[in-house]
Structure 1
Amino acid sequence: MRIKFETWALFTAVVREGSFLAAGRALGIDPASLMRRINRLEEDLELQLFSRAEAGLTLTVSGRRLFREVAPLVARMEAALARKGAPGGEGAGSAPGRFGLACSGDVALDLVRDAAARIGARHPAMRWDFRVTWTGDASSARDDTFPAVSMRARTHPARKSRTEIPLGNVRRLCAASPDFLETHAPLLSPADLEELPAALTQEAAGVVAARDRIREVFERNGEYFPVELHRPTLFRQARSAVQAALDGEAVAVGIPEALLRPFFLEGRLVPLLRDWCMRPMVLEADVSARWRSNPVVLEFLEAARTATNEGEVR
């Protein structure tokens, strides 16, 4: 019987973390998928490795014996992979042992979280370090211990000197709750937004004309319509802006469509101005020069590009 190394790595991770949930979070893998992999391992070995109870997992006698034999081998292999994947190390370009991912704001993180989980499932020896920054520029978060990739989602053009790699455009919409619409005049054009309370994210705010005014541009059939929002509330997290709309406090403006879609289906939010297009949000990656040829990084960027263009926000 031949069992893949990644299966043994998953087994030892579950033992170390003490539960499928904790191990899944550490590896960036869906806990249910991880549990299925361990169940399959037990079936292949015809051994029960864990005792399962509400209090958590405990190793059986067979599980403890197997862990003592397997854990040192997995540790040596993971160390070898980490050395090979380290920038400038022997065999650079192989899977890194740790992968640093900094995201400027929660929109960027939501767009790439599933992509990271999929790549992590294929490379279980790799560990993900996530960091969310609110500086407006995720690249400023990079340091010697966090070297690989910085992500950000922006609506306004990048400076020419920037080195980000564009991964795709994210469609943005406006939305409000049915209760809000019952107590306010109908929105027939973007101009109707100007006197309404608006909830935006700092990432999506675009060009700030003044402390109490935000400028947005809508487009339809080649016609451009600039709007100045006079009553904006800026949130650091997109979900906070959505919550303000759900609470009937404001119109959520410039929110990624996929983030709003579940609330549209539930009838808790109503899409507004669907005939008009807003400036899209562009997801960009800034990759450290030392990691640009790493195959796992390249695989992650391609997965993030696919997720962005499919609008996969979780």
Structure 2
Amino acid sequence: MRLPDFEAWAMFAAVVEHRSFTDAARAMSVSKATVSKAITRLEQHLDTSLFSRTSRRLALTESGRRLADHAARIMEEGLAAEEAARDEIAELAGVVRLGAPMSFGLKRVAPILAEFMALHPAIVIDLHLSDERIDLVESGLDATLRIAAMPDSSLRARRLCDVVGHYVASPGYFAKKGRPMHPSDLSNHDCLLYTNLSNPEIWRFARAGGETVAVQPHPRMMSNSGDAMLAPLRAGIGIAFLPDFIIGDDLAAGTLEAVLEEWQGAPIGLHLVTPPSRLRPARVEACLDYLAKALVQ
């Protein structure tokens, strides 16, 4: 039986992570020619192209995209095995690459990571904040946090806690426009829409007893950032649906007020999403455990 070319698989994973033969070679302290030969060797063995190469761009082929996750798992399991053999748990070191939604990352994740880094001065955090759905394999992340209903996939998703949202506006807006008592009343109101959703033009409501309502709100503002809506909300421009971690302080201070509370649907889950492999370097495992415990509290 011919053994897999583990070196070539690992170098393929590194090129996917760094999106460059040169950067992958530098990260592995080998020559670019060594990486190129390994990829060519793997492509010849698999009888398929893994990358589309031009003078300006390096992109995965469809075959490369399908195999990238396998390569990442081979790399992760090899690193985890070596780290376990070296017994580095007592002194964790290296880079942990994490993704998180923009507003949630700034308000909740960054402070937790600051505490973690203070405890582990040899660990470097590479934090990517974006409300776009992040591809773990293509971005080379060890894990990402997602606030969403999780579809079936090859990734591992651990639900950490609920994220509760509210329909809110300023007292001044309600004094001017009145309070909606039923979702259908929103047709007479100005609304601020968060666009980074699969269907942002429709607001769906549900309440005890199973009654559901779908409403097409009248948009006064649209944005892919919930934080960007705070100033217009406080200025009395309209109504928005936003999570607690963005509007919690305003609700407590009374600068925003919630309506239609009996129409709250099921809370959205905060998930910690990781690649399929259960094996992770000790530094990653420690960071994810610390992050999960802090967020569940």
TM superposition score category, shorter chain reference: 0.5 to 0.7
| Pick aligned residue for 1:249 from 220, 237, 244 | 237
* 2:98 equivalent in structure 1: 101
Shift of 1:223: 3.1
- Corresponding position of 1:149: 143
Per the TM alignment, residue 88 of structure 1 is displaced from its structure 2 partner at its CA by: 4.8
Distance in 2 (CA, whole Å) between partners of 1:219 and 1:271 is 16
Match of 1:214, as an amino acid?
I
In the alignment, structure 1 residue 139 sits paired with structure 2 residue 127: no
2:247 to 260, 265, 285: 260
The answer to whether the 8 A contact 1:206-1:215 is kept is no
SS in 1 for 2:114: helix
Contact 1:151–1:284 at 8 Å: present in 2 too?
A: yes
Is 1:199 paired with 2:227? no
SS at match of 1:129: strand
Q: Which secondary structure state, in structure 2, belongs to the residue aligned with residue 101 of structure 1?
A: strand
Report how far residue 227 of structure 1 moved: 2.6
- CA distance 1:174–1:268, shift in 2 (3 Å): same
Q: Percent identity?
A: 19
Q: Is there any run of 5+ residues in structure 2 with no aligned partner, and where?
A: 1-76
Superposition pairs for residues 194-233 of structure 1, below 5 Å? Answer: 194-203=187-196, 205=197, 207-208=199-200, 213-231=201-219, 233=221
In the TM superposition, what is the alpha-carbon distance from 1:151 to its structure 2 partner?
2.2
Q: What are structure 1's unaligned runs of at least 5 residues?
A: 1-84
Aligned-partner Cα distance in 2 for 1:86–1:202: 40
TM-score normalised by structure 2 residue count? 0.62
Superimposed CA distance per residue, residues 199-241 of structure 1 (whole angstroms, 9 cap, x where no aligned partner): 23234x4534xxxx32323323443333332326332222112
2:207 aligns to what SS in structure 1? strand
1:305 and 1:261, CA in 2 relative to 1: closer, same or farther beyond 3 A?
Answer: same
**8 Å contact 2:186–2:217 — kept in the other structure?**
yes
Distance 1:223 1:189 in 2: 12
SS at match of 1:278: coil
Tell me the alpha carbon deviations over residues 262-294 of structure 1, each in whole angstroms, 9 at most, x when there is no partner.
Answer: 112222111222223134222222224568433
Q: Is the 8 A contact 1:169 1:309 kept in 2?
A: no
User: Residue 305 of structure 1: CA displacement?
Assistant: 3.5
For 1:241 and 1:100, how far apart are their aligned partners in 2?
Answer: 29
Matched residue, 1:169:
162
Separation (CA, whole Å) in 2 of partners of 1:162 and 1:247: 44
Query: Any idea what the Cα deviations from partners look like across 1:133-167, whole Å, max 9, x if unmatched?
Result: 34x31125743xx431122222xx33222523322
Letter in 2 for 1:112: V
Counterpart amino acid of 2:127?
Answer: F
In the comparison of the two structures, how many residue pairs are matched? 215
Aligned-pair distance for 1:100?
0.9
How many angstroms apart in 2 are the aligned matches of 1:90 and 1:141? 21
Aligned to 2:79: 87
CA apart distance, 1:189 = 1.8
Structure 2 CA distance for partners of 1:305 and 1:90, relative to 1, 3 Å: closer
1:282 to 256, 263, 269: 269
From 126, 129, 132, the equivalent of 2:126 is: 129
Whether the 8 Å CA contact 1:197–1:249 is kept in 2: the answer is yes
After TM superposition, the structure 1 = structure 2 runs for residues 266-305 of structure 1, keeping only pairs within 5 Å, are: 266-288=253-275, 292-305=279-292
CA contact (8 A) 1:217 1:279 kept: no
Provide the C-alpha distance between the structure 2 equivalents of 1:307 and 1:219, rounded to a whole number of angstroms: 31
Which shows bigger deviation, 86-95 or 213-222?
Answer: 86-95
Equivalent residues of 1:139, 1:151 under 8 A apart: no
Give the aligned residue type for 1:172: G
Shift of 1:180: 0.7
Distance 2:291 2:188 in 1: 37
| Counterpart among 112, 120, 134 of residue 115 in structure 1 | 112
Please state which structure has a larger fraction of its residues in helix: 2
State whether residues 98 and 144 of structure 2, in contact with CA within 8 Å, keep that contact through their aligned partners in structure 1.
Answer: yes
Tell me how far 1:173 sits from its aligned partner: 0.8
Give me the CA root mean square deviation: 3.0
Give how far 1:186 is off.
1.8
Q: Which stretch of the first structure deviates more once superposed, 271-280 or 237-246?
A: 271-280
- Secondary structure of the residue aligned to 2:245 is helix
